[in-house]
Amino acid sequence: MKLKWRILYLLARCYWRIFKPLTLGVKLMLIEDDAIWLVQHSYQPGWFLPGGGVKRNEMLETAVRREAEEELGADLQDLQLFSVYTNASEYKNDHIVVFVSKTFTVGQTDKAEISAVQKFPLRQLPADVSRGTRRRIEEFVNGRTQAEVGVW
């Protein structure tokens, strides 16, 4: 992990603990041939769904397309709402909107924020995939057919 990004992440966690902000983020499940694309961040260990924060006055669809481009160089053709979650860990009130895309192209990654990008079979995820990511993928594999609201 890059030291600069790790330090910035730790400072953000201190900020969240003191101010307990309300945040809104997007995540994306890129599904291709019974496999899913995951990312490793330069500031945090493990594998995650690509995504990030929604900017002020930004539409959710715009945010998820921007994050896909920034983190994977991905161009999304289709996009479907999967579910909405609340995450109260790390001392913030975080809301995460998860989308699914099955038609896309992947290009160059953002080398500063993303240290690795890899496609994994849906039923053979790496051991160090984040818990929330693993749960979302299991929900998809188990056939969730409509959007729901839940805990990350």
Q: If DSSP states are collapsed to H, E and C, what string results for the chain? A: CCHHHHHHHHHHHHHHHHHCCEEEEEEEEEEECCEEEEEEECCCCCEECCEEECCCCCCHHHHHHHHHHHHHCCEECCCEEEEEEEECHHHCEEEEEEEEECCEECCCCCCCCEEEEEEEECCCCCCCECHHHHHHHHHHHCCCCCCCEEEC
Q: What is the pTM of this model?
A: 0.83
Question: How do the pLDDT tens digits run along the chain, 152 residues long?
Answer: 578 888 888 888 788 677 777 889 999 999 999 999 999 998 889 999 999 999 999 999 999 999 999 999 999 999 999 999 998 776 667 899 999 999 999 998 767 789 999 999 999 999 999 999 999 999 999 998 777 777 77
- Which CATH topology does 3-151 take? Nucleoside Triphosphate Pyrophosphohydrolase (3.90.79)
